Each structure stands twice: as structure tokens, then as C-alpha cells.
């Protein structure tokens, strides 16, 4: 299966120089955040941190300089984001803008859209959310029903988006709407829009998750007017554009590093007096971590070379989610801690949070079943 | 993949496809030595792949040799190809002359106690690959690489689950043909042996996937190929993930060997490929149904090898424990910087 070969990719020297810089930055700026806060990984956000990170030049790293970017290569950006994840930095607010919305606007957006959004993104001040899922359309994304109807000078939108991470704190949404309800083929007739979250008729309502956080939202559109120059790319080409956006969304190291702070806490917990059982369990995790990192680097290398990383990225996301999700179970088995939400050691608090959060790791950004469907297609089975 | 490796891959794939047939595999289990296959491996330079050209070898590096070892796992040639690759590399590293014919290595197990001293090797080594057919054994013990001729009086036959010879060799003061000091650690053979087995496991897992995808496409039930059912597609996709991670882990180890000491990567690779083998063999047999449980079907030649290889030169738990103790000893703040430094090739 040559299509599933992961060409080894080593980081260039300039990327390793950057690693030293981002580590210094993190050493200076992460003190205020407890292990429990850090264990939220890229689901935890702090505006002040995003701003400092932007100021230091670590956001929008691949954007052109004229939009406030830094014209770095994919491998340099890779080093920075994996160090942010390894440290548990609170990156949630700018993460999506930096990872996929910015690159999407660079691929398909107009000059006006880029100038309007990208400098703020690179400063760590402008946040984006993803308007894909709807109440009746999750894995079957092409069945979305939220409609954008053409009127004079723009579109009027009615419908609902859901599970929209941080929508209540974001400035913009890249939304997928149906612009043509007449077409037979459901993958056609969809378009992407740049939506200002302050638009009258657009309302984000946080949905409390099982861990007690207000992170994802329901976003309703009631006769919301979207100016025509906020169409992203071509009308009717939304599906193809979304697929290339998903390639950015699914292929990064956050798809295997979301439990990294628990791994750190677990090693701290057992390293004083490792038993044979705990040494075997930790060693197995590290062996798989080393391999996933190698595969993830390979995907970054493919992206850098302009190849389509969708299939390889799906493999890493699928394997990565299994690895991340095993972590709380292994920690529970090895330590037998009794996590209590109102107190306890750092380890217990981290375990309590990650135990709940891991549920979402094989759901968000494409379920395990959808990813395996993509892999099965890569095997020629469908 | 480099052009060199592409050519090498084509060559070994063609050679094994022609010469490692179902018949060859079956006959080897009843004691037939596949002469044509062995000669083809030797004539094409595979057996001495890692030996420098000036010593009569092919002069390949580890990253290139990975292609051969992985293909050996995919096709399962019933000859000590990777053992000869390893043994001849050890001899060449020690500056010793390499004898003609198949080689094996000893000790394979850490609890075997072989002593090299006074121009002889003493002690008993278990599970020595192809002991009865290898003309010579390369022994690593007491900081020495030693070459010993084997004869039938020293060998008690045994085999692994795949019925590959894994013999007990009683050295009993066997005279050394040659020896030289080595800087490899006491269990250096386990490290490199684990690395070769990891590459074979990666190849074998890929073979399992190929066979299973093929079978699922051919087998009709309820009027459709079973590959059209989502549950089968989900199984095969998960298996493809294991195939990909096994390949990446094993290749990572071979590349590390080109840079210096591959101990950590070899350990990781043995853990990951062993885990992949466990998963892939279960899925492959579940999808194949009863036919895969027959001796007649080709699949079992691969799955029985996978179950054997994952245990040889240290099982997953042995290597995972070593990594775990190392990580614990370095402390929680060190494992990530250590890993990134190693994978960047900045630390040999």
C-alpha cells in the first residue's frame, strides 16, 4: 500500500533554532497556568496569552508579511505548534484562525477579506470559529440545510450551526451554507462565507459540556444579512473548499498531543519508584508517541511539498485519538488515584479533567468512523 | 523514497515473488533447504548488504537495508537472510573475514550465558535461528565478536510457531575461528536483532493487510463482496493504521542506526511493530473466516511468523520496560526534550 507510506521527514536546522526560541518564550510566559489549566491543551484559551504569542511572532507564521505574517515554512510552524502543545499553552482562541481559517483565506479569499482579517489573526487578537456542523448534519456534512438566499447586494441567512468551538468569543466564522437548494447532487450548491459574528441576527449560545465548561456553542442565523463580498471563493464550490480546509484541520500534531499534560503528570507520579508494570506502560506510550511524531512530521513534510495530506492525516488522527484516549485509562490503572473535582493533587485534577475530555477526541474534527471511511477509500474498498 | 531504494525494492520484491512460493514455505517446514532462494539472495548481494564493498559486500547503509528486511517480512523467505545480514555486519565492523554461506547469531536471549575466552566459546544458547543450517555463528559476549563454526553435534533442533528453525546450540568450548573486541553493549545483539525483527514485523503486517483486502474484495456473502460492508471497511482501515505505524517505527530505527546508536528507536520499533502484529493478525483471521484457519491458505505462513517474531529478540514488554525505566530515571521534564533532540538527529 504505497499510498500509506509515510516518507521519513527530518526537521531542518532553522526549525530547531526556532525550537529554542519558543521554549524560551514558554518558560517566560507559562508560570501563571497550573497543570490542571494546561491539561486543557488546545481547548483552553486566554486572550492575554494569544496576544503575547502573536507579538512574539509565533502566530500566522506562514502568512505573507504584507498581512502581518512571518513567511516561515511548514516545518518551522510545526516546531512551534508542537512545543505549544507539549507545554499545554492556552492557545484555543487563536488556534483555528492560525491553523485553517487564515490558510483558507490565503487560498480562496479576496484581497479585501485577507486585509480585513489576517493582520489581526497574526497579532493573536482576531479569532475564528468553524461553521460546519448543524443539528441534523454531523458526519453527513453535505446534508446541511442552513440557507443563504441571494438578495440585492448580498445573502440572507437562516438556520443553525452547532458544536461551534469558542463561537461566543470569536470575531469571525468561516461558514458553509447552502446557496442552491435546487441541485440534485447534495455535494453541490454549497458555498463558504466569512461571517462577522457581530452581524445582526447571528447569536452564539454556549452549550455546557459534560466537564462543566462553556466551550462549544449553538449559533443561530435569523435573517442575517451577509454582504456579497463576504463570499469566500466561488459560489457553489463550498464542498471542495471545505475538504481542503479539513486537510488543515485534521493533519496537525494536536491530533495526538491533546493528553500530553496527563502523560507528563503520569510520568512525574510514577517516576520516583517505577514498578515493572508502570515502566512497561510508560515505555509503551513513549514508543507510540515517538512513532506518531515521526508520522506527523511526515504529514507536515507532505504539506510542505504541496502534496494532499488528507489520507495520511486521517491515519495519524485515527491512531492519535486511540493513543490520547488510552492515556486516562492507563493512568487510572497504574496509579489508582481517586480524582475529586473540588481538590486533590495536580495529578488528580489533571486526570479528572482529561478523563472527561478524551471522549471528544474521536468525535471532533471528524469521527473515528468517518476517518476510517476515508482510509477504507484509500485502500480501494469504496 | 530514494531512487536507489526504489530499485532495491523492485529487485527484492521480484526475487521473493518468484522464489518464495507457497510450496517453498511448506517444504521448508518439513526440512527442505531452499537452495535456489538462498543462492539468489547471495548472488544479488542481499546477504552481505551491510558489509563494505572492499570486504566483498554491497556497502549499503541501514536506511537502504531496511527495504530488504521489510521485504523479508512481507514474503517470509525460509532462510537466515536477516541473520546473515546482521552477522556479516558485526564481523565487518570487527574487521573480521566473512565466511561463505549462511550465518546465524548468538545469544538471542538475554538469559543465555555464553563465555568467550581462551580461543573458545562455552555455554548453551537457545532459539538460535537456523542453527542446523547455518555454517557459522557470530557470537557477541564478553566485549568480543567471535566467529564459530557450527556442526550437527552441537545442535538440538527446535522451532518457533512458524516452524522456522530455532535451535539449541551447545557450544561446549567450541574453538574460535576469529575474534575481535567490540564496543557494542553486552546485549547489543538484542538491540540489532530487535531492529531486524521490527522491520520483518512491519513487512508481515503489510502482507496481512494486502491478503485481507484482496480476500474481502473476492469473498461474496449476502450477494456482495464483504469489503462493501462498513464493519469490514472499519476493520481494514484500523489495520491500515497499524501497518503504517509499524512501517514508520521500523524505518525510524534503521535510519537512527545510520546516525549512531539506535537503541531507543529499536526498542520503540519492537514495541510498536509487536503491538501492530497482535492487532493485524487478529483482524486478518477474523475477516478471512474459516479458510484462513486452514494450513492450505497462504495467510497462516505470515501470521505464524508474526506471532514468533514479536517474541524474538525481546518481546514488547521487555523493550517497553527498558524505555519506561529510562524515561522515569530522567524525570517528567526530560522526556519531551530528549525525544525531540533524538528525532532531530542532534544527539547520536
Instruction: Output the pLDDT for position A358.
Output: 96
B162 and B215 in a single domain? The answer is no
E strands, chain A, in order? 128-131, 147-151, 154-165, 172-178, 190-196, 202-208, 214-227, 231-232
Instruction: Output the pLDDT for position A1.
Output: 56
pLDDT grade for B345, boundaries at 50, 70 and 90: low
Assign a CATH topology to domain A251-378. Answer: Butyryl-CoA Dehydrogenase, subunit A; domain 3 (1.20.140)
pLDDT above 50 (res B256): yes
Contact B328 A382 (CB under 8 A): no
Contact A8 B327 (CB under 8 A): no
B9 and B138 in a single domain? The answer is yes
Is there a contact between B286 and B215 (Cβ–Cβ < 8 Å)? no
Residues of B in contact with A318 (CB under 8 A): 237-238, 241
Domain termination residue (choose one: B181, B210, B236): B181
Domain termination residue (choose one: B158, B181, B204): B181
Instruction: Output the pLDDT for position A251.
Output: 86
Dihedral through CA A285, CA A287, CA A288, CA A291, nearest 10? 150
Instruction: Output the pLDDT for position B347.
Output: 39
Which residues span the domain enclosing B275?
188-343
Say how far apart CA B146 and CA B182 lie, in whole Å: 10
Neighbouring C-beta atoms of residue B144, cutoff 10 Å: 17
| Per-position pLDDT tens, chain A of length 382 | 577 999 999 899 889 999 999 999 999 999 999 999 999 999 999 999 999 999 999 999 999 999 999 999 999 999 999 999 999 999 999 999 999 999 999 999 999 999 999 999 999 999 999 999 999 999 999 999 999 999 999 999 999 999 999 999 999 999 999 999 888 888 999 999 999 999 999 999 999 999 999 999 999 999 999 999 999 999 999 999 999 999 889 989 999 999 999 999 999 999 999 999 999 999 999 999 999 999 999 999 998 888 989 999 999 999 999 999 999 999 999 998 888 888 899 999 999 999 999 999 999 999 999 999 999 999 999 9
Say how far apart CA A110 and CA A234 lie, in whole Å: 11
For the residues B259-283, what does the mean pLDDT come to? 97
What pLDDT, in 10s, does the model give residues A66-87? Answer: 999 999 999 999 999 999 999 9
Q: Tell me what the pLDDT averaged over chain B comes to.
A: 96
CATH number at residue B36: 1.10.540.10
Neighbouring C-beta atoms of residue B240, cutoff 10 Å: 29
Q: Across the interface, which of B237, B321, B323 has its CB nearest the CB of A375?
A: B237
pLDDT above 80 (res B346): no
B312–chain A nearest CA distance, Å:
17
Assign a CATH topology to domain A130-241. Answer: Butyryl-CoA Dehydrogenase, subunit A; domain 2 (2.40.110)
What pLDDT, in 10s, does the model give residues A148-180? Answer: 999 999 999 999 999 999 999 999 999 999 999
Assign a CATH topology to domain A2-126. Answer: Butyryl-Coa Dehydrogenase, subunit A; domain 1 (1.10.540)
Q: Confirm whether B348 is domain-assigned.
A: no
The domain ranges of chain A are 2-126, 130-241, 251-378
Structurally, chain B folds into a number of domains equal to 2
Q: Confirm whether B12 is domain-assigned.
A: yes
B224 and B170 in a single domain? The answer is no
- Please spell the DSSP secondary structure of A77-115, one letter per residue: HHHHHHHHHHHT--BHHHHHIIIIIHHHHHHH--HHHHH
Neighbouring C-beta atoms of residue A78, cutoff 10 Å: 25
B241 and B170 in a single domain? The answer is no
Dihedral through CA A361, CA A366, CA A370, CA A372, nearest 10? -50
CATH number at residue B328: 1.20.140.10
Contact A290 B268 (CB under 8 A): yes
pLDDT above 80 (res B245): yes
For an interface test with A, which of B225, B234, B237 has the most A Cβ atoms less than 10 Å from its Cβ? Answer: B237
B17 and B156 in a single domain? The answer is yes
pLDDT above 90 (res B143): yes
B210 and B261 in a single domain? The answer is yes
The pLDDT > 70 percentage for chain B reads 99
Neighbouring C-beta atoms of residue B321, cutoff 10 Å: 25
Q: How many contacts does A have with B, using Cβ atoms within 8 A? A: 178
Contact B335 A373 (CB under 8 A): no
What pLDDT, in 10s, does the model give residues A263-314? Answer: 999 999 999 999 999 999 999 999 999 999 999 999 999 988 889 899 999 9
Q: Which long-range contacts (CB under 8 A, 24 or more apart) does A105-114 make?
A: A105/A194, A105/A232, A106/A63, A106/A64, A106/A67, A107/A233, A107/A241, A107/A244, A108/A192, A108/A232, A108/A233, A108/A234, A108/A241, A109/A194, A109/A232, A109/A233, A110/A229, A112/A229, A113/A194, A113/A229, A113/A230, A113/A232, A114/A67
Q: Which of residues 253-272 of A touch B (CB under 8 A)?
A: 260, 264-265, 267-268, 270-271
A295 touches chain B (CB under 8 A): yes
B213 and B142 in a single domain? The answer is no
B167 and B192 in a single domain? The answer is no
DSSP-derived letter for residue A279 is H
pLDDT above 90 (res B170): yes
Contact B243 A4 (CB under 8 A): yes
Residues of B in contact with A298 (CB under 8 A): 248
Amino acid at each position: 500500500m504505497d499510498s500509506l507510506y509515510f516518507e521519513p521527514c527530518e526537521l531542518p536546522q532553522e526549525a530547531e533554532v526556532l525550537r529554542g526560541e519558543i521554549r524560551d518564550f514558554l518558560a517566560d510566559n507559562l508560570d501563571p497556568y497550573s497543570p490542571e489549566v494546561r491539561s486543557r491543551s488546545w481547548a483552553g484559551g486566554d486572550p492575554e496569552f494569544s496576544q503575547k504569542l502573536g507579538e512574539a511572532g509565533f502566530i500566522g507564521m506562514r502568512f505573507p508579511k504584507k498581512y502581518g505574517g512571518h513567511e516561515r515554512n511548514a516545518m518551522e510552524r510545526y516546531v512551534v505548534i508542537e512545543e505549544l502543545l507539549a507545554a499545554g499553552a492556552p492557545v484555543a482562541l487563536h488556534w483555528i484562525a492560525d491553523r485553517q481559517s487564515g490558510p483558507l483565506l490565503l487560498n480562496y479569499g479576496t484581497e479585501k477579506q485577507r486585509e480585513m482579517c489576517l493582520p489581526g489573526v497574526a497579532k493573536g487578537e482576531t479569532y475564528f470559529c468553524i461553521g460546519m456542523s448543524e443539528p441534523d448534519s454531523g458526519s453527513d456534512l453535505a446534508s446541511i440545510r442552513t440557507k443563504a438566499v441571494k438578495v440585492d447586494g448580498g445573502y440572507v441567512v437562516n438556520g443553525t450551526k452547532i458544536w461551534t468551538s469558542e463561537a461566543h468569543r470569536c470575531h469571525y466564522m468561516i461558514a458553509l451554507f447552502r446557496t442552491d437548494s435546487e441541485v440534485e447532487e447534495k455535494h453541490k450548491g454549497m458555498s463558504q462565507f466569512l461571517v462577522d459574528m457581530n452581524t445582526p441576527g447571528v447569536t452564539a449560545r454556549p452549550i455546557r459540556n459534560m466537564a462543566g465548561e462553556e466551550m462549544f456553542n449553538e449559533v443561530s442565523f435569523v435573517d442575517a444579512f451577509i454582504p456579497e463580498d463576504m463570499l469566500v471563493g466561488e459560489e457553489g464550490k463550498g464542498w471542495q473548499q471545505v475538504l481542503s480546509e479539513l486537510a488543515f484541520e485534521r493533519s496537525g500534531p494536536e491530533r495526538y498531543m491533546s493528553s500530553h499534560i496527563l502523560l507528563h503528570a503520569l510520568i512525574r507520579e510514577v517516576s520516583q519508584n517505577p514498578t515493572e508494570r508502570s515502566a512497561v506502560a510508560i515505555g509503551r506510550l513513549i514508543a507510540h508517541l515517538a512513532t506518531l511524531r515521526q508520522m506527523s512530521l511526515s504529514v507536515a513534510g507532505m504539506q510542505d511539498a504541496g502534496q494532499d495530506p488528507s489520507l495520511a492525516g486521517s491515519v495519524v488522527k485515527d491512531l492519535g485519538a486511540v493513543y490520547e484516549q488510552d492515556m486516562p485509562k492507563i493512568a487510572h490503572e497504574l496509579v489508582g488515584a481517586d480524582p475529586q473535582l473540588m481538590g486533590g493533587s495536580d495529578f488528580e485534577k489533571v486526570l479528572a479533567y482529561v478523563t472527561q475530555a478524551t471522549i471528544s477526541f474521536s468525535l471532533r474534527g471528524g469521527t473515528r468512523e468517518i476517518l476510517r471511511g476515508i482510509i477504507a477509500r484509500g485502500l480501494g474498498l469504496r | 523514497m530514494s531512487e536507489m531504494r526504489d530499485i532495491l525494492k523492485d529487485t527484492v520484491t521480484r526475487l521473493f515473488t518468484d522464489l518464495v512460493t507457497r510450496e517453498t514455505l511448506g517444504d521448508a517446514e518439513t526440512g527442505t533447504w531452499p537452495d535456489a532462494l538462498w543462492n539468489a539472495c547471495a548472488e544479488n548481494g542481499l546477504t552481505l548488504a551491510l558489509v563494505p564493498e572492499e570486504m566483498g559486500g554491497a556497502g549499503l547503509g541501514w536506511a537502504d537495508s531496511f527495504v530488504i528486511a521489510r521485504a523479508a517480512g512481507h514474503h517470509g523467505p525460509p532462510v537466515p537472510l536477516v541473520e546473515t545480514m546482521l552477522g556479516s555486519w558485526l564481523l565487518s565492523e570487527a574487521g573480521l573475514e566473512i565466511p561463505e554461506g549462511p550465518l546465524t547469531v548468538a545469544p538471542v536471549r538475554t538469559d543465555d550465558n555464553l563465555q568467550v575466552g581462551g580461543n573458545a566459546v562455552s555455554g548453551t544458547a537457545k532459539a538460535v535461528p537456523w542453527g542446523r543450517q547455518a555454517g557459522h555463528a557470530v557470537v557477541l559476549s564478553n566485549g568480543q565478536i567471535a566467529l564459530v563454526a557450527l556442526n550437527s553435534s552441537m545442535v538440538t533442533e527446535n522451532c518457533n510457531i512458524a516452524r522456522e528453525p530455532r535451535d539449541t546450540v551447545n557450544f561446549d568450548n567450541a574453538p574460535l575461528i576469529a575474534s575481535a573486541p567490540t564496543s557494542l553493549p553486552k546485549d547489543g545483539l538484542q538491540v540489532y536483532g530487535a531492529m531486524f525483527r521490527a522491520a520483518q514485523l512491519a513487512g508481515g503486517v503489510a502482507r496481512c493487510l494486502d491478503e485481507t483486502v484482496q480476500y474481502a474484495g473476492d469473498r461474496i456473502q449476502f450477494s456482495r463482496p464483504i469489503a462493501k460492508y462498513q464493519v469490514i471497511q472499519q476493520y481494514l482501515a484500523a489495520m491500515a493504521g497499524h501497518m503504517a505505524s509499524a512501517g514508520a517505527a521500523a524505518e525510524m530505527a534503521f535510519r537512527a542506526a545510520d546516525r549512531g546508536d539506535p537503541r531507543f528507536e529499536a526498542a520503540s520499533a519492537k514495541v510498536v511493530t509487536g503491538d501492530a502484529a497482535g492487532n493485524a493478525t487478529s483482524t486478518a483471521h477474523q475477516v478471512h473466516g474459516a479458510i484462513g484457519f486452514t494450513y492450505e491458505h497462504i495467510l497462516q505462513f505470515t501470521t505464524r511468523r508474526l506471532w514468533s517474531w514479536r517474541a524474538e529478540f525481546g518481546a514488547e514488554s521487555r523493550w517497553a520496560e527498558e524505555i519506561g525505566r529510562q524515561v522515569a530515571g530522567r524525570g517528567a521534564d526530560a522526556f519531551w526534550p530528549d525525544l525531540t533532540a533524538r528525532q532531530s538527529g542532534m544527539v547520536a
